[in-house]
Structure 1
Amino acid sequence: MSAQTINRRGPVPYTVAIVFALVFVAPLVLAILTSLKSPAEITRVLSVPTELYWQNYATAFERMGRSLLNSILITAPAVVLSIAIGCVAAYPLAFMHGRGGRFTYFVLLTGMLVPFQIVQIPLFFLIRSIGLYDTIGGLWLVHTAYAIPFCTFFMRNFFSSVPRSMYEAARIDGCSAASYFWRLLLPASASGLSALAIIQSRAIWNDLLFGMTLTSSDNARPATVAIAGFASSLQVEYGPLMAATLVSTVPVMLAFLIFQKSFVRGLLGGSGK
């Protein structure tokens, strides 16, 4: 695209982009300002703190305890397991185009239509009966099972975008179906795997419902449950709440910034392969 074409567009697209950027950045700026205000300044929402009140962050770390570590120990294995199982399930579905393949595919997708609230109570009794209540392993199991339909849906569509000629050429060269999957298909789908990993990491890291239902102590309590503890029926500790929220967003933001190029390519259906 030439510079003349860009200049003919005028300032309108850039103005719209700046406005949208400000709208999305505004909540983050307000959260940062609130996290640095003393209790006496909290009510002045749009004002800049007269003095940086770092005690909010000290309180946030003290009250959160090991919940940040718990969130990491829950998120990382659950993401790996759900994506691995989703890829294995998506591989044959990407090559099944008859009625049987479509039926199996849609049956798996029904898992995406079940709200968390419907399975909350039976899931609580199930996890407790198998001895995984208030354990990190129990949350691995739940998040993995609930994420498999979406991972299958995502990777099935991504695998379908890989040229069939690559599979046929590999088979002519003597490559088995399993070898093609591990040696060719997965490396060619690296951008899709990165995008799915970021999506799943954000979803599992931000989960509150399963964390509140299936944990009761600091041994397995994730960061979201600890953050919810800053707001009670009697008061809301806005300063420590915002500080804890900002701290909890750092790992996900770092993951996105590191893999953002692969994330964009993956959402575009692998156009960068």
Structure 2
Amino acid sequence: MFPTPIQKRSAAAQATYKSLLPVALILWLLPLIAVMVFSIRPDADFTQGNYWGLPSSFDLIPNYSQVFFNSDMPRYLWNSVLITLPTVAGAVALSAMTGFALGVYRFKGNLLIFFMFIAGNFVPFQILMVPVRDLTVDVGLYDTKTGLILFHIAFQTGFCTLFMRNFIRALPYPLIEAARVEGVAEWRIFLYVVLPLMKPALAALSVLIFTFIWNDYFWAVVLTQGPDAQPVTAGITAFNSQFRAAYHLMSAGSIVAALPPVLIFFLMQKHFIAGLTLGAVK
């Protein structure tokens, strides 16, 4: 039923695997490598059609200096920080409380409410574009960071609740019963008994939501415009002029925009893997 591990295969199979693995890795990284090469090309290479040849010069410092000091890129990055961090905090906090209520308490309509949270994940977000945009215009939140934050919190809470509820259901229930026998209030049980056990899940979910929100482009374009509220994913397009695109600056901006989630993942890698694998085995 399951494939045989490569360590138990024949010597020829292992040699083939080891030889094809670097090729597959290079093919997978090829788009990223192309963006990195584009980011150090001079503007003259693009005007002369030298897209895939060797760069005529390596303009690493000029390109990235122009991105940081002669554009609104720092402002767009700061907007992304102001949008992503409150969204992560809000979605994780709400889902932790909702997951606790749905995972611990038994009441009529528990599964119905849980299924409603899950159902939101199956709605194609593209069909929500017009009503959500009209709603933000009507309530005065269009082209504001607050409107984008509130929407992301509402849209991510469904997935986060699914994650938290299932994690809490796997926790040892006798701990909660023992705390109740001692007369501990329910909110104290959540804060001092359940929440400390949820740290791996909180870390893993925070990394996932941070990546989702930081890399969001669709809603950044739909709900914001201009450097006052747009995050970095949408702000990169500001390097396009009316008649031509500054591919070298867009590539440099893309590399800069991709660094924070990569850094967050490596900093939280231990907790992220622990959160995803906790409870996988007895």
Give me the TM-score of the superposition, normalised by structure 2. 0.84
Going from structure 1 to structure 2, the CA distance change for 1:101 and 1:239 (only over 3 Å counts) comes to same
The CA deviation at 1:237 is: 2.2
Going from structure 1 to structure 2, the CA distance change for 1:155 and 1:15 (only over 3 Å counts) comes to farther
Give the aligned partner of residue 126 of structure 2.
Answer: 117
The CA deviation at 1:40 is: 3.5
> 69, 72, 85: which one pairs with 1:64?
72
Q: Which amino acid counterpart does residue 26 of structure 2 have in structure 1?
A: L
The CA deviation at 1:72 is: 0.5
Give the aligned partner of residue 249 of structure 1.
Answer: 258
Give the aligned partner of residue 34 of structure 1.
Answer: 38
Q: Any gaps of 5 or more consecutive residues in structure 2?
A: none
Please tell me whether residue 259 in structure 1 is matched to residue 268 in structure 2: yes
What is the correspondence of 1:1-273 to structure 2 with a 5 Å cutoff?
A: 11-12=14-15, 14-15=18-19, 17-42=21-46, 43-53=49-59, 54-61=61-68, 62-65=70-73, 66-95=75-104, 100-231=109-240, 234-270=243-279
**RMSD (Å), alpha carbons:** 2.6
Distance in 2 (alpha carbons) for counterparts of 1:260 and 1:72:
20
Give me the TM-score of the superposition, normalised by structure 1. 0.87
Going from structure 1 to structure 2, the CA distance change for 1:69 and 1:238 (only over 3 Å counts) comes to same
Check conservation: 2:42, 2:56, Cα contact below 8 A.
Answer: no
What's the CA shift string for 1:184-241, capped at 9, x where partnerless? 2121111111111111111111112221122222111111111133457853322111
The CA deviation at 1:22 is: 2.8
Going from structure 1 to structure 2, the CA distance change for 1:237 and 1:266 (only over 3 Å counts) comes to same
Going from structure 1 to structure 2, the CA distance change for 1:36 and 1:205 (only over 3 Å counts) comes to same
Going from structure 1 to structure 2, the CA distance change for 1:234 and 1:85 (only over 3 Å counts) comes to same
Q: Any gaps of 5 or more consecutive residues in structure 1?
A: none
Distance in 2 (alpha carbons) for counterparts of 1:123 and 1:26:
36
Going from structure 1 to structure 2, the CA distance change for 1:17 and 1:134 (only over 3 Å counts) comes to same
* SS of alignment partner, residue 37 of structure 1: coil
Distance in 2 (alpha carbons) for counterparts of 1:57 and 1:240:
8
Distance in 1 (alpha carbons) for counterparts of 2:197 and 2:207:
18
Check conservation: 1:31, 1:242, Cα contact below 8 A.
Answer: yes
Distance in 2 (alpha carbons) for counterparts of 1:220 and 1:154:
30
Q: Which amino acid counterpart does residue 164 of structure 1 have in structure 2?
A: Y
* SS of alignment partner, residue 104 of structure 2: coil
What's the CA shift string for 1:89-145, capped at 9, x where partnerless? 111211356873222211111111222222211212211222222211111111111
Check conservation: 2:99, 2:165, Cα contact below 8 A.
Answer: yes
* SS of alignment partner, residue 55 of structure 2: coil
The CA deviation at 1:264 is: 1.3
Q: Which amino acid counterpart does residue 41 of structure 2 have in structure 1?
A: K
Equivalenced residues, count: 269
